[in-house]
Amino acid sequence: MLPRKPRDAAGDAEQATGEGRTGEPRVVRSDDLLGGCRQVVIVHNDEQYVLRLTRQGKLILNK
């Protein structure tokens, strides 16, 4: 598990709205998110979701 960085008030606002300082949604490349793995676990509201990369190169999110 990676250590969390402390967020500032602007970071809290960005996370709450889903938008950066420019008003645009934050863009995350799937390569960066997956980090060379075929799947990652995302925790949202204490629930675990699995984001999986298929053999066809598509992404599937399962609870």
Does the predicted TM-score (pTM) go above 0.85? no
Binned at pLDDT 50, 70 and 90, residue 58 comes out as very high
Domain ranges of the chain: 38-63
What is the domain class of 38-63 according to CATH?
mainly beta
CA-to-CA distance for 44 and 57, rounded, in angstroms? 24
Q: Which residues contact 52 (CB under 8 A, 6 or more apart)?
A: 38, 39, 59, 60, 61, 62
pLDDT tens-digit map of 9-55? 555 545 555 666 778 999 999 999 999 999 999 999 999 999 999 99
